[in-house]
Structure 1
Amino acid sequence: MFFRIIKFFWPDLSNEEIKKYGMLSMAFFFIIGAYWLLRPLKDGFFFSAVGGKYQPTAKMLSVLIVGILVMVYSKLVDIVEKHKLFYILGSIYTVLFAIVAYVVNFPVEGPGALNPSILRFFGWASYFIIESFGSIVVALFWSFTASVSDAKSAKKGYSLVIAGAQIGAIFGPFMATYAKSWGLMPLFLIGTVSIMLMMFIINRFMAVTPKEQLEINKQEVKSESAPKTGFLEGLKLLLTRPYLLGIFAVVTIYEVVGTIVDYQMKMQAQALPQYASRESLTAFLGVFGMSANALAFFMALLGTGYMMKKLGLRFCLLTFPIVLGLAVAGLYAAYTWGHFNPMMLLWATFGVMMIAKGLSYALNNPAKEMMYIPTSKDVKFKSKGWIDMFGSRSSKAVGAAFTDSLKGNAYNLMAYGTILSLGFIGVWIVVAFFVSNKFERLTAEGKIVE
């Protein structure tokens, strides 16, 4: 039945490709499901244990922490087989999340409560652990998927992988909506089990996928004979290849804009008595995650694959910033002239974030990952590590620094945030046009960036 459903929505996939991308889709389901379950838990726990006003600081500090982890990850790429990285990283995160699950089981106050300093420590620690999981494991998955794909099969199969991720991204925050009745500990444990299931799927994928399907990216296989590059060489490639700088801009500009609007939404929610506790804030963020990802899933199911095949990479890369720019401008207009009360403003911001997250997952992410197809292994696993982990985190830090400087004045945050966001989006549109043209030339000529 599962096979027939895939064949109905993705008729261009061969039986072998259905098996291949179907298993990758299942693995990504557990990765993204765990991550989107842990995201609202991260904020709910942090806002309660540490305080929402410290979240911009946490985002800025995460740049340093993720930068260190990128160094470790880049070294592991050279000495460990790619699929085994899933087992190593998965085991580490399984243990860490199990420890956090134990800690959040203690009451926040009253008899049996932890010392406030210990609670704050784990609030910070859990924030960084979950942030790094979302950066490293997701980047590893896409690097691995690109290494076992070519441009032709990726155009057909990536939308199936994204669909699996979107189901996980709906299911994860759906579980988080039960935070008020279940508490946080069972939810952290569900995330832990999801990571273990991801490792099992990768193990089965390696066992049943034919060798020729694992080595389908012939251009990358040829590049294996080239001299190995170190950690800083990944950065050097990024800084000296305009195509990679273009990908960097496509990834990071969205994060700056998204960080500003996301922080506005969370602070608006925490200011309302309905969402003041860690459980109620977690449940609200679960509703947001479920709604945004349901939108993205239906877009991926009904339109992403068609748009990628029929309208091309350029259309997908350009549609997202144009629509997001209109939404950001509309939110500011509603704030300035709409006479919204705090609850109405929260739901208007909620709507803009739904658009941002939905289009990011449905259009920008699959298009972005396709751009790595005509690149070498060092680009996929090292320069991509800089872009997805350090670049993404640093751009969030830029957005966080801006919100931190203006968090005391809501009007300035909305006014200057809109101006800055629209300026960045204008640059984003120009860059997206450049990289989509370069991608078409590389794939047509059978060349790679290395």
Structure 2
Amino acid sequence: MTNSIKNNSRNCDGKYFAIRRLGLRTAFLFINFLLIIMALYHLKPASRSLFIESLGADRLPHVWIGTGLTMMLFIPFYNRMVVRISRFRVVLGTCLAISGLLVIFRLLLITPTQAVSAGFYIFVDILGVVLVEQFWSLTNSIYSTDEGQRWYGMVGTGGLVGGVLGGVVSAFIIRQTALQTPDLLLVAGGIILTIFALTWVMDRFGLYCEVDRPEPDPRPAKNGWRVLGKSRYLFLIAAILLLAQLASPLIDYQFLKTVEEAYPEREARTAFLSMFFSLMGTVSIGVNLGLTPLFHRKLGAIAGLLVQPLMMSLCAFGFLVHPVLFWGGASKISDRGLSYSINRASKELLYIPVDPVLIYQAKAWIDMFGYRMFKVFGSFVILIFTQWLPFAISVQGLSSFTIGICALWIGLIAVIRTDYRLARKEEFA
């Protein structure tokens, strides 16, 4: 492994052995992931609020298309860089680069322009993907499969807690101090520098020593769609996941449009978005700890998959009948809050009976390209039916599309139920 952390770390011998216990390593990673999501939940409300102020919520589909296309160009370049440079050095360099760029954006926002606000929105979405991907890339390299099954739940909970704390802290900063929305960039930059320091300390103590395993082939994402075409089961999984991405921009657009109308003043809007993201994280934690284990133990993974589309369709109907902030927020929580909790755990259970090589190939394509393609498609749906056609529909009318997508989504879950049972039987045959 020419680019492994093992060959770059100086502390993977017998030194500091006592501090490398799995529980302590997990505690460090819990804090690391908490800080990553906490930083993002300072930047997300700021980027949304600044964009709405400069361009208005009607322009959101344009920036989502820009984000998707930028990501599809950036990710292959990023993956090539990771192949040539050790993951550890890439993480440290990324933290320094992001902190520096946040300072630059803060200076540019002294006199904000539409281009700066749009660029900052795209930058926040990209850095969110990069920081989370880097974290799990490092984490996956230092745990064996058995260790991961025991400890990943705790590590992932750090992200959920970070979302709650990030929202609460950013709302407190806006409401109770003299700092304003653009100043959240500097707060987030400080948190990311703390991540840099923590990552460096963890390496010094040998907590990033890799488990010996073959390096994955970096090419599967290019041909992952072919794997989906050869396996009906994987194709159904991909269709279910991608339908969720198709519906997500419709719900996000409705939510942010109602936020724009309810909170025309920037600082009040930022504070509301911060507290809303905190609430969404709290819901995710509650569902993760209470509802998810109950559903999986009593009803199984398929029942867990049904929760999100059922709740999304119910909330979409509520918004269709009464397009107010309550139903816009409820739709957003039913989308992202459940996606990060019961839906994520349920979809991972679908992958277990599948050959690991096929899983890697399929997930690489879905995560790197499929998600972004379908979010771009969803953004085009918004533009076509609300702005480009002569018979444009209202914002609340988009709920009809959401309900239709959820109906198809539920139908595919009913179809995959039989395939899942067959895959489980073959796994234990």
TM range (shorter): 0.7 to 0.9
| Post-superposition offset of 1:67 | 0.5
Deviations 1:102-126 (A, max 9, x none): 222x2xxxxxxx3xxx611111110
Give distance in 2, aligned partners of 1:192 and 1:121.
21
| 1:425 is aligned to 2:409 | yes
Give distance in 2, aligned partners of 1:368 and 1:188.
34
Equivalent residue letter for 1:356:
D
Equivalent residue letter for 1:395:
F
SS in 2 for 1:276: coil
Structure possessing the higher relative contact order (Cα contacts under 8 Å, 6 or more residues apart)? 1
The answer (yes or no) to whether the contact 1:250–1:431 under 8 Å persists in 2 is: no
1:396 maps to which residue? 375
Deviations 1:33-88 (A, max 9, x none): 11122111111111112222111111112121001111112212322233333223
The answer (yes or no) to whether the contact 1:174–1:287 under 8 Å persists in 2 is: yes
Give distance in 2, aligned partners of 1:155 and 1:55.
39
Equivalent residue letter for 1:429:
I
1:145 maps to which residue? 139
Deviations 1:339-379 (A, max 9, x none): xxx6xx21122123223322222222344457677776896
2:124 maps to which residue? 130
The answer (yes or no) to whether the contact 1:247–1:435 under 8 Å persists in 2 is: no
2:17 maps to which residue? none
Give distance in 2, aligned partners of 1:90 and 1:239.
38
SS in 1 for 2:219: coil
2:256 maps to which residue? 266
For the structure 1 residues 364 and 230, does the alpha-carbon distance in structure 2 shift closer, same or farther, using more than 3 Å as the test?
closer
The answer (yes or no) to whether the contact 2:284–2:338 under 8 Å persists in 1 is: yes
The answer (yes or no) to whether the contact 1:251–1:388 under 8 Å persists in 2 is: no
1:24 to 21, 24, 29: 29
| Post-superposition offset of 1:228 | 5.9
For the structure 1 residues 305 and 25, does the alpha-carbon distance in structure 2 shift closer, same or farther, using more than 3 Å as the test?
farther
Q: CA RMSD in A?
A: 3.5
For the structure 1 residues 100 and 74, does the alpha-carbon distance in structure 2 shift closer, same or farther, using more than 3 Å as the test?
same
For the structure 1 residues 164 and 121, does the alpha-carbon distance in structure 2 shift closer, same or farther, using more than 3 Å as the test?
same
For structure 1, which segment, 43-52 or 368-377, has the greater mean C-alpha deviation from structure 2 after superposition? 368-377
The answer (yes or no) to whether the contact 1:42–1:130 under 8 Å persists in 2 is: yes
2:161 to 139, 156, 167: 167
| 1:38 is aligned to 2:35 | no
| Post-superposition offset of 1:260 | 1.0
| Post-superposition offset of 1:238 | 5.8
Equivalent residue letter for 1:259:
P
2:271 to 277, 283, 308: 283
Listed as ranges, the matches of 1:17-96 within 5 Å are: 17-96=22-101
The answer (yes or no) to whether the contact 2:223–2:365 under 8 Å persists in 1 is: no
1:416 to 400, 412, 420: 400
| Post-superposition offset of 1:172 | 1.5
Unaligned runs of 5+ in 1: 1-14, 107-113, 336-341, 446-450
The answer (yes or no) to whether the contact 1:139–1:388 under 8 Å persists in 2 is: no
The answer (yes or no) to whether the contact 2:233–2:416 under 8 Å persists in 1 is: no
SS in 1 for 2:397: helix
Q: Could you tell me the TM-score, scaled by structure 1's length?
A: 0.76
Give distance in 2, aligned partners of 1:433 and 1:354.
26
Deviations 1:203-259 (A, max 9, x none): 344444668x8427xxxx24x3x8663763456556656565455434432222222
1:294 maps to which residue? 282
1:448 maps to which residue? none
| Post-superposition offset of 1:401 | 1.6
Equivalent residue letter for 2:310:
I
Give distance in 1, aligned partners of 2:186 and 2:426.
45
Give distance in 2, aligned partners of 1:27 and 1:320.
29
For structure 1, which segment, 41-50 or 235-244, has the greater mean C-alpha deviation from structure 2 after superposition? 235-244
For the structure 1 residues 434 and 205, does the alpha-carbon distance in structure 2 shift closer, same or farther, using more than 3 Å as the test?
farther
For the structure 1 residues 255 and 168, does the alpha-carbon distance in structure 2 shift closer, same or farther, using more than 3 Å as the test?
same
% identity of equivalent residues: 21
Give distance in 2, aligned partners of 1:411 and 1:37.
28
For structure 1, which segment, 410-419 or 178-187, has the greater mean C-alpha deviation from structure 2 after superposition? 410-419
| Post-superposition offset of 1:96 | 1.6
| Post-superposition offset of 1:322 | 3.4
The answer (yes or no) to whether the contact 2:248–2:335 under 8 Å persists in 1 is: yes
Give distance in 2, aligned partners of 1:195 and 1:377.
34
| 1:324 is aligned to 2:312 | yes
For the structure 1 residues 411 and 100, does the alpha-carbon distance in structure 2 shift closer, same or farther, using more than 3 Å as the test?
closer
2:198 maps to which residue? 201
The answer (yes or no) to whether the contact 2:65–2:376 under 8 Å persists in 1 is: yes
The answer (yes or no) to whether the contact 2:310–2:406 under 8 Å persists in 1 is: no
Unaligned runs of 5+ in 2: 1-19, 387-391
For structure 1, which segment, 398-407 or 24-33, has the greater mean C-alpha deviation from structure 2 after superposition? 398-407
The answer (yes or no) to whether the contact 1:162–1:300 under 8 Å persists in 2 is: no
Deviations 1:133-170 (A, max 9, x none): 12232233334434444554444323212321111111
| Post-superposition offset of 1:309 | 7.0
Give distance in 2, aligned partners of 1:256 and 1:128.
19
Equivalent residue letter for 1:299:
V
Deviations 1:301-335 (A, max 9, x none): 44546666776544433433333333334443x43
Give distance in 2, aligned partners of 1:433 and 1:325.
20
The answer (yes or no) to whether the contact 2:243–2:409 under 8 Å persists in 1 is: yes
Give distance in 2, aligned partners of 1:129 and 1:277.
23
SS in 2 for 1:271: helix
1:184 maps to which residue? 181
Give distance in 1, aligned partners of 2:146 and 2:402.
39
Give distance in 2, aligned partners of 1:260 and 1:324.
11
Give distance in 1, aligned partners of 2:246 and 2:349.
22
